[in-house]
Structure 1
Amino acid sequence: MQTYVQIGLTATGMPMDVYREALVGFYNLQQRGLVSAQRQVLTIIDFSRSSRLKRLWVVDVKQRRVLFHTLVAHGKNTGEEFASAFSNQNGSEMSSLGFYVTGNTYSGKHGLSLKLNGLDPGYNTNAGTRAVVVHGAEYVCEEFVRQHGRLGRSQGCPALPMQQSSAIIQAIKGHTVVYAHAPRGVRYQSELQQLDPALVAFAQSAGLAED
């Protein structure tokens, strides 16, 4: 995982296996033509980490650099400090796991927001009907953590700090990949974790294979 070292992810606390899973899914989605060729950006949420910690990364895969590393909320019924329960069901107020491709932005009750298209059947494909979107929220901040011992929680959306949300949304909108990693002990399986097609896509992007 040469890019893991080059990007400097070790110092940010991201486990190598989480990055590997996210990257395999990214290249599988690229192979399927679902990822923007102009904006090769990968957002990773590590739900195995405490909500007190920065557990969202936005990585420019092509430029090999971290664009953002910040806090992100989980759903009210997903857990207190730690995320432990996940759902794809309407009304669950839980976070969902797996791979998404970002859609269009819109202005909603939380200001600038970003639609998400869930791609893992049984895990996140109801994101649209559940209105699970990326948005900013006042309860996603260090001050809330200091007062309550944990981050504030959403209705299932990956909510971001208000001062960073617009910049992050602009960076990841329009067919980029978002991966929400499951904590240990929580079942998650995905066709997007198949290694062979991901390696083909990686080789093509690196100019190591013919299209």
Structure 2
Amino acid sequence: MAVSGQPALAVTPPKELEVSPFAKPTPPVLVQRAIAALDAHGAHIRHRDLVGLVDFGKASRESRFHLVDIEAGKVVSSHLVSHGSGSDPANSGWVQRFSNAYGSNASSPGAFLTGVTYYGKHGRSRRLIGLEDANSAALERGIVIHAASYVSEDMAATQGRIGRSQGCFAFSNSDIDGVLERLGEGRLLYAVK
């Protein structure tokens, strides 16, 4: 209210009131599910700043693996990633089913803890530990993150799909080093459809 002869003073709200609690966009549903998995498995997950999120609801020709910076609320990078041949018997490029059974060659959904790196037949790779009933046999099945020649942008463009793994999360040779570095030991990899 202005006193006669004096201009009205502008009221500046305190900094904490300037931003509405609704101003930050709501994360997409898959990110919300990954955050819920972080909370549910928090005792096992040492590093909560970055997660690997796989959207198996998309075709293999699409970049459906996302490294998500949870604190900043943004996708850092997206990559092609394979699914298991047992999840896609017709080789259509789409996940049809999941399995946790040994010898199924299928992908498994849910929360995985990233383990140590090692050098195997696919070069530098990272072990995965399943944290849910749907993927509890991941370590015993040898479900890991590795590179494969059957994962490439060229193959996705020319064939409309990439190749299939035996249930592992396989990346292109050009992407594997960055994925392994960023998604280091003690982080969450979350796969859903």
Over 3 Å counting, the alpha-carbon distance change for 1:167 and 1:62 in structure 2 is: same
RMSD: 2.1
Query: What is aligned with 1:198?
Result: none
Tell me, which stretches of 5 or more residues in structure 1 are unaligned?
10-15, 183-211
16-25 vs 152-161, greater mean Cα deviation: 16-25
Q: TM-score, normalised by structure 2?
A: 0.81
What fraction of aligned residue pairs are identical, expressed as a percent?
A: 32
Q: How does 1:44-83 map to 2 (within 5 A)?
A: 44-79=53-88, 80-83=92-95
Query: What is aligned with 1:138?
Result: 149
Residue 58 of structure 1 aligns to a residue whose secondary structure is: strand
* CA–CA separation in structure 2 for the residues paired with 1:42 and 1:48: 18
Residue 163 of structure 1 aligns to a residue whose secondary structure is: coil
1:159 matched to 2:152: no
Residue 175 of structure 2 aligns to a residue whose secondary structure is: helix
Question: How far does the alpha carbon of each residue in 1:75-115 deviate from its partner, in whole angstroms, 9 at most, with x for none?
Answer: 11211211011100111111001111101000111111000
Query: What is aligned with 1:128?
Result: 139
Query: What is aligned with 2:120?
Result: 108
2:32 paired residue among 20, 23, 43:
20
Query: What is aligned with 1:169?
Result: 180
Q: TM-score, normalised by structure 1?
A: 0.75
Residue 86 of structure 2 aligns to a residue whose secondary structure is: coil
Paired residue total: 170
Q: Greater Rg, structure 1 or structure 2?
A: 2
* CA–CA separation in structure 2 for the residues paired with 1:87 and 1:2: 40
